[in-house]
Amino acid sequence: MLLLMFADRMLSAFKGNLAMNALNYSRGMSVSIRGAACLLGLFALPLVAPGSVTTHRTMDVDVLGAALNPVGLTIDAVSIHNGVDGQFGTYSNFETRPITIRPGIVLSSGNVDNLGPIPGATAPDYDPSSPPEQVNNQMVPEPDSGGTPEFDAYGAFAGNIENFSGSYDVAALRIDFTLDQSSAIKFDFIFGSVEFPSWTSQFTDSFLVFLDGTDPANQITLDAGGNAVQVGSSFAGFETVDDLNTAFSNPHGLIHHLTTTTAKLPDGEHFLIFEIGDVNDHILDSAVFISNLRAEDGTEGTEPTEDPPYEGCPHISAQPQPMIGCLSGSASFTVTASGDPPLTYRWRKDGVPIETDVNPTAASPTLEISNISAADIGEYECVVRNSCDHETTHPAALTVCIGDYNCDGGVDGTDLGAFFDRWELGDAAADVNADGGVDGADVSTFFEHWEGGC
């Protein structure tokens, strides 16, 4: 049933493409053939496979800003300029040679949930013209295109984007930042597309970066010939099918590890808008992996990165797991990581570092929490760091069964007695609502949890 529903959705999209193409016959035949090939290919291949790169979708702009690991500048605001849930996220573990890049943010014209290598992509019967749903997503329902005015204006201006007629499913992220002193700005990126090799020069998706404006002249990421970032159409010599981390491995391709350096900017406020979009249709995805946003002087332009291979940097192999505790009991969170020594660990609760003079284990791989109180309820994560870089674990929640006050694994009358013994003494352990005092409000809170069980 699910397969039939998916086929129906794709067929509707295919029909929509035909209707659109009636307005532009010159490219209508190629879109029709392409849409049919993609529809048939979806039934022939597995849709999901584990990959080397790890991605986590998020629309949390604070998370996205922090993942850029800014150095030498202050990020004032991060905003979703265009796009929908699923097109934005963070990534890590892009570290298998020969193509590597530090952790950062990922934007896609499709869905970032699974951008690892495509199962069966190197098999003899794999058809690169019709990759599976994993990298074949329409993110914005028709008749909307999901494009942006500046992407369209840039693409239509003097042939900046090859064979351009419109932008679709554009993911655009705006970064507002302040420089305390005059400096150039740099960032590293890798751009991959499953449009390569079958649909280049017809539907070649693109990555654009606008600095301090959205006119075509504000687009700063170009090759030596003034061409925009498009796999198979620009940056000759930097295109490769040798990546082992992503869905853009052989037979698909990517433009590997470049660094864009701006002109020297005056001190004060500035902004960048990163934009990636489908070109001429909604289907077949591309993604850009961006890291290491920094204020650093250099030669203006986009050139091979100065960043060494991502080797020896922290890599988290086991994440901390959620815990359920009880008041006055104990709990622990553990992370397992590898990387060049020395590795340092710093645990945070709800995003705030835990002071080591309060809990010395906050600087170790295992965070121990003893004599749990209601104030300990929250989400815990660990930042693992070495001289190369840092990586942050997924948040793991600590919840507390307040009703099991005596920590015997059940909620019954003995918990009432244990609670009131502490409450009558004014013991801080009876502050079950974590308001800093022991009073009648704690009795109400305790009874609500006691009656609800665990």
Beta-sheet strands, E only, within 286-342: 286-295, 301-304, 315-318, 323-325, 331-334, 336-338
CA–CA dist 189, 255 (Å, integer): 9
Residue 443's pLDDT is what? 86
How would you classify the pairing of strands 323-325 and 396-400?
Answer: parallel
Residue 242's pLDDT is what? 92
Residue 326's pLDDT is what? 84
pTM for the whole thing? 0.66
CA–CA dist 246, 99 (Å, integer): 10
Domains and CATH numbers, the chain: 49-304 (no CATH), 315-400 (2.60.40.10), 413-452 (no CATH)
Answer whether 136's CB lies under 8 Å from 70's CB: no
Question: Given the structure tokens 């796999």, which residue do they identify?
Answer: 231
Mean pLDDT by 10 residues, the chain (454 residues): 35 36 36 42 36 89 95 97 98 88 95 95 95 96 96 88 93 98 97 94 92 97 92 90 95 94 98 97 96 94 82 84 88 93 96 94 97 90 87 89 79 81 82 84 83 76
Answer whether 130's CB lies under 8 Å from 38's CB: yes
Q: Which residues contact 46 (CB under 8 A, 6 or more apart)?
A: 119, 120, 132
Answer whether 165's CB lies under 8 Å from 17's CB: no
For helices 2-21 and 25-44, give the axis angle rounded to 10 degrees: 170
The 10 Å Cβ neighbour count of residue 126 is 18
CA–CA dist 128, 126 (Å, integer): 6
* Nearest residue to 59 (alpha-carbon basis) of 27, 36, 82, 29: 82
How would you classify the pairing of strands 301-304 and 206-211?
Answer: unpaired
Both structure tokens of 63: 């998370």
CA–CA dist 209, 81 (Å, integer): 12
Answer whether 184's CB lies under 8 Å from 269's CB: no
Largest Cα–Cα separation, the chain: 84
Beta-sheet strands, E only, within 128-205: 167-179, 185-193
Integer CA distances (angstroms), 144 to 6, 134, 314, in order: 20, 22, 42
Residue 22's pLDDT is what? 32
CA–CA dist 309, 96 (Å, integer): 9
